């Protein structure tokens, strides 16, 4: 009697476990069969469509449509841009700018002041050794509109290029007047004396402390970039250093090649 009770209990327990595991699946199948009988237009796919898609993708490509056979996309027109840094070298900012340019593999142009070249010869040499172009921005940052042509040449330009040459062996013949200030007769005089005058086409305003947040500087580059642009920046403020990686990223994303001003 006890054995029968125990067997009955075991059977009941087995049924409960079976129903809890199997019955839902059976009930679902039953419901599906009833549904199909009452709705004969319903088609049950025999194979999982995702699996079929995968199988189709594994088929060999149609001859003539292999990627190699497709025509190559037309190359993008080469666009060049020149980053330029004025008023250096200095002990703090110029090395940081050089670090960023080195890390990003970007070459630039430095319009240096003769007085600072004499004060920071190691930084001047580093600019040259790292492949950047050294150019002349006067000796004392004087306003050239206030000077005679001879004063511009003999007091400002020549001493600066001579100082660069003593340190590097390279005598710059490219100049940018401080403030962009130059009389027309001085333009003619300097050109006849063998100087190339370079101003700028994109002012980042990194020199203007009232509107030179890194975001504003980057935004100006984003909205004003153009092929063969000469971008004006300076060695004398932290805003330039903070904005520089972003500027490089934006311009590189637009397909620009960074070149010194004599390669535009
Ligand atoms: Zn300047």
Residue 147 is predicted with a pLDDT of 98
Q: How far apart are CA 110 and CA 128, in angstroms?
A: 9
Q: Are 249 and 100 in contact (CB under 8 A)?
A: no
Per residue in 8-19, pLDDT tens? 556 554 545 554
Residue 251 Cα, ligand 1 centroid: separation in angstroms? 24
Residue 6's pLDDT band, with cuts at 50, 70 and 90, is low
Residue 237 is predicted with a pLDDT of 82
Q: How far apart are CA 104 and CA 84, in angstroms?
A: 15
Residue 180 Cα, ligand 1 centroid: separation in angstroms? 8
Q: What is the mean pLDDT of the chain?
A: 83
Q: Is the pLDDT of residue 217 over 60?
A: yes
Q: For residue 205, with 0-12 CB atoms within 10 Å meaning exposed, 13-18 middle and 19 or more buried, which class applies?
A: middle
Tokens found for residue 136? 């002349």
Q: Which residues is 231 bridged to in the sheet?
A: 83, 202
- Whether a cis peptide bond, with omega within 30° of 0, leads into 85 is no
**47-56, 174-183, 185-194, 220-229 — which is least confidently predicted?**
47-56
0.85 surpassed by pTM: no
Taking a 5 Å cut-off on Cβ, the residues next to ion ligand 1 are 86-87, 178
Per residue in 84-128, pLDDT tens? 999 999 999 999 999 999 999 999 999 999 999 999 999 999 999
Residues 6+ apart with CB under 8 A from 121: 167
Catalytic: 41? no
Residue 196 Cα, ligand 1 centroid: separation in angstroms? 17
Q: Are 179 and 140 in contact (CB under 8 A)?
A: no
Residue 55's pLDDT band, with cuts at 50, 70 and 90, is very low
Question: What phi, psi does 257 have (nearest 5°)?
Answer: -100, 135
Residue 87 Cα, ligand 1 centroid: separation in angstroms? 5
Question: What phi, psi does 135 have (nearest 5°)?
Answer: -135, 170
Q: Is the pLDDT of residue 132 over 90?
A: yes
Residues 6+ apart with CB under 8 A from 14: none
């Amino acid at each position: 009697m006890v054995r029968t009770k125990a067997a009955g209990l075991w059977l009941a327990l087995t049924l409960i476990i079976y129903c809890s595991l199997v019955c839902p699946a059976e009930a679902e199948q039953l419901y599906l069969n009833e549904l199909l009988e009452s709705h004969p237009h319903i088609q049950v796919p025999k194979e999982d469509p995702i699996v079929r898609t995968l199988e189709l993708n594994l088929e060999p490509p149609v001859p003539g449509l292999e990627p190699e056979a497709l025509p190559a996309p037309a190359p993008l027109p080469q666009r060049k841009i020149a980053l330029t840094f004025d008023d250096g070298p200095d002990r703090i900012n110029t090395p940081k700018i050089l670090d960023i340019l080195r890390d990003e593999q970007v070459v630039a142009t430095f319009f240096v002041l003769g007085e600072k070249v004499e004060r920071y010869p190691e930084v001047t040499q580093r600019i040259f050794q790292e492949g950047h172009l050294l150019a002349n921005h006067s000796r004392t940052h004087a306003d050239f509109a206030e000077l005679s042509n001879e004063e511009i040449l003999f007091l400002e330009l020549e001493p600066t290029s001579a100082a660069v040459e003593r340190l590097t062996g390279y005598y710059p013949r490219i100049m940018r007047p401080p403030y962009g200030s130059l009389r027309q007769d001085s333009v003619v005089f300097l050109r006849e004396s063998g100087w190339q005058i370079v101003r700028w086409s994109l002012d980042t305003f990194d020199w203007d402390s009232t509107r030179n947040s890194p975001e504003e500087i980057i935004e100006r580059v984003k909205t004003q970039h153009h092929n063969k642009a000469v971008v004006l920046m300076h060695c004398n403020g932290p805003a330039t250093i903070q904005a520089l990686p972003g500027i490089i990223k934006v311009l590189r994303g637009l397909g620009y090649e960074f070149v010194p001003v004599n390669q535009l």
